[in-house]
Chain A
């Protein structure tokens, strides 16, 4: 036991003597809980766990008040940021058209759009059609938006359906019978509801007027339409068919329709980036080993410059990273049916640029840190933080605005976007060149510049 205590004491003495280790020990959990806490809804916003709003473009092409009501209902959702048009720099808003709202998704300005079309009323029976245009590049985000859109539409379904119900009634009962029905219903309601404020004019007794009287504009009626349709279906089979088309959401998936494994296709870029960062950072830490063994002293006594050493490290780590990333993608094509081969040339290019940026990141870490342990510790912290804030695990738009902004400074974000662009959206070189690939190149250049400067003035080659 004495020996154990003595050795334990030694461990603590060594630990307490390493200020960087102490800092990392307490800093890492603090930073990680800050990042993940914010990401997973701990920011205090009461909007269904969503830190910020997901952007949804909306257009009421029908011009009907019911369509406006649906859009207003969408706008009332805390989790959504509803756009009604393209904003120019001077603040003027160009309202969407049916073409431009879709083009916005093609151009990746937003991923979701809701259109109440001109022909939003069902041709037969009672029902409405809503168009949902999407680029579901993130599974969780898509499901959330889908749910919120359906909720908003259902909330306003009675208003949407009101004119059609009245028309249907008149068409099927005849005007005279309808007038009798409405008058009788109005009197019955006026007698039954003991509220002086609630009085229905028998001459104006339409379904729409009734709804206005009952609901006003702001009353939520979750599931009311569904209940109605359910009762009707139970009472009379013939009538049930009237509600067959109660709500039709016409989905228009702009990108990824043909993708065979959507979930992994959307995520694999994030995994690849995280893997690359860990691999290249570990590899960059080998610089410390070479320094310890006096290798730099020998090499620099030869006709070899520091830049030669750094370039060789950079090229080796980058090529190794490319090989590893491609292995990951090719394996995923065999194991999980990811379509790698249709996009192979651009995928190789993204792998090269991503591996280059990740290698440069690892070299900056090695240049800034004084021990391999520091490099690994700080590297782990930064890699997990960057990956988490880049939208690799949860949608970027779920995060608080500050974290979204920070996330966009991460090379992981740009790498993931490039991989998704190629694999999910099938974009080519010209479409990905700006800004995604250009940003990855910029990362490599800037980080390598910092690393070269630090290696020149720092202790690695001293």
Chain B
């Protein structure tokens, strides 16, 4: 028995001269909510397409629950659920008709199929709209149904490729709740996104991918441990005395803005020492905002700030 749901070793995939995956190594533990983070074109969707068998890898190996992944192996496919980035639904059909179709393709039939359709409609909070054509749904409802279709056969591993693109906050929240319920039930989820706050909220492990390679992998706290404890300190106040600003610069580089000075902590910065100094300077605690490092900081540090086309 393996503890790894999915493992990739030396995975390579190119499209012409474009290298999409460049020797990718990855291990997703069973039961993990695993975030796959990367900018556009990093290789996330290509990785998903290899796992789902849509494309073949040029080189490398994928193991699904310890077995070499074979795209032709029906039993293996039944262990995977996939919610693609596109809303891959037949929009002229009703929600129920879509689910019945996909359920049949997963090998379900009869009462078993009906039960599963009811269950996933409930999970997606779409029971009352089951008979409506998908084209009448809002973007958020379509997204929820898109995920629901991947859950019909009760997969052990769920792949979600940017499932919240273009949805309103309420729908996003509903999707999060659905996914967290699945996590609570022990399902392994691989969640591809470039929204860092989503990964922080949902994932217990993440991998940052760029140019087809894993740049960092681990639990979020562990990854953030590698960063300074404080990312920045903002001191509010439009009329800080010059002496105060000069004293502030002993802690690092200071940038003056409109009604705020931002301190980028220097080497050896200690928060306790800074708080003591602020108190001595008579700064109000509410005017001192300590910005902790986030996954986004780590992400930008690793992937750079250049625009990706």
Contacts and interface: CB of A to CB of B under 8 A. Distances in A.
Interface of A: 292-305, 461-462
A297 B105 contact: no
Given A303-B77, A303-B105, A295 B88 contact: yes
21 contacts: A293-B88, A294-B88, A295-B86, A297-B49, A297-B54, A298-B82, A298-B84, A298-B88, A298-B102, A300-B54, A301-B52, A301-B53, A301-B77, A301-B80, A301-B82, A301-B84, A302-B77, A302-B102, A303-B77, A303-B78, A304-B105
B106 A302 contact: yes
B87 A294 contact: yes
Nearest to A308: B105
Interface residues of B, number: 24
Nearest to A305: B72
Interface in B52-99: 52-55, 72, 74, 77-78, 80, 82, 84-88, 90
B20 to A, nearest CB: 11
Nearest to A299: B105
Contact of A303 (B54, B55, B74): B74
B274 to A, nearest CB: 50
A299 B72 CA distance: 13
B149 interface: yes
Given A302-B102, A462-B55, A297 B107 contact: no
B106 A303 contact: yes
Contacts of B107: 303
Contacts of A461: 54
A305 B70 CA distance: 13
A256 to B, nearest CB: 46
Contacts of B52: 297, 300-301
B54 A293 contact: no
Question: What is the interface of chain B mostly: helix, strand, loop, or mixed?
Answer: loop
Nearest to B153: A302
Nearest to A304: B105
B300 to A, nearest CB: 29
Contacts of A303: 74, 77-78, 105-107
A297 to B, nearest CB: 5
A305 B88 CA distance: 17
A455 to B, nearest CB: 13
Contacts, number: 53
A334 B124 CA distance: 52
A294 B106 contact: no
Interface of B: 15, 49, 52-55, 72, 74, 77-78, 80, 82, 84-88, 90, 102, 105-107, 149, 159
Contacts of B77: 301-303
Contacts of A298: 82, 84, 88, 102, 149
Nearest to B82: A301
A325 to B, nearest CB: 25
Given A293-B87, A294-B87, A294-B88, A301 B54 contact: yes
B15 to A, nearest CB: 8
Max chain A C-beta neighbours (<10 A), residue from B52, B53, B88, B107: B88
A296 B55 CA distance: 11
Contacts of B90: 295
A310 to B, nearest CB: 15
Please list the 4 inter-chain residue pairs (A to B) with the smallest Cβ-Cβ separation, ordered nearest first.
A294-B86, A301-B52, A298-B88, A301-B82
B62 to A, nearest CB: 14
Contacts of B86: 292-295, 297
B88 A302 contact: no
Contacts of B15: 462
A302 B107 CA distance: 10
Contacts of A294: 84-88
Given A294-B85, A301-B52, A303-B107, 14 more contacts: A293-B87, A294-B84, A294-B86, A297-B52, A297-B86, A298-B82, A298-B102, A300-B54, A301-B54, A302-B77, A303-B74, A303-B78, A305-B72, A462-B15
A305 B53 CA distance: 10
Contacts of A462: 15, 55
A295 B90 CA distance: 8
Nearest to B71: A300
B264 to A, nearest CB: 43
A312 B82 CA distance: 22
A213 to B, nearest CB: 86
A311 to B, nearest CB: 14
A304 to B, nearest CB: 6
B87 A302 contact: no
A300 B86 CA distance: 14
A60 to B, nearest CB: 69
A300 B82 CA distance: 10
Max chain B C-beta neighbours (<10 A), residue from A294, A301, A304: A301
Nearest to B51: A301
A29 B78 CA distance: 52
A305 B74 CA distance: 10
Contacts of B159: 301
Nearest to B86: A294
Contacts of A301: 52-54, 77, 80, 82, 84, 159
A200 to B, nearest CB: 91
Max chain A C-beta neighbours (<10 A), residue from B84, B90, B149: B84
A301 B76 CA distance: 10
A105 to B, nearest CB: 53
A296 B105 contact: no
Contact of A302 (B55, B72, B85, B105): B105
A295 B105 CA distance: 13
Contacts of A302: 77, 102, 105-106
A461 B86 CA distance: 15
Nearest to B90: A295
A303 B108 CA distance: 12
A461 B72 CA distance: 15
Contacts of B72: 305
Contacts of B49: 297
B166 to A, nearest CB: 14
Nearest to A297: B84
Contacts of B84: 294, 297-298, 301
B54 A296 contact: yes
A461 B159 CA distance: 19
A304 B107 CA distance: 10
B113 to A, nearest CB: 14
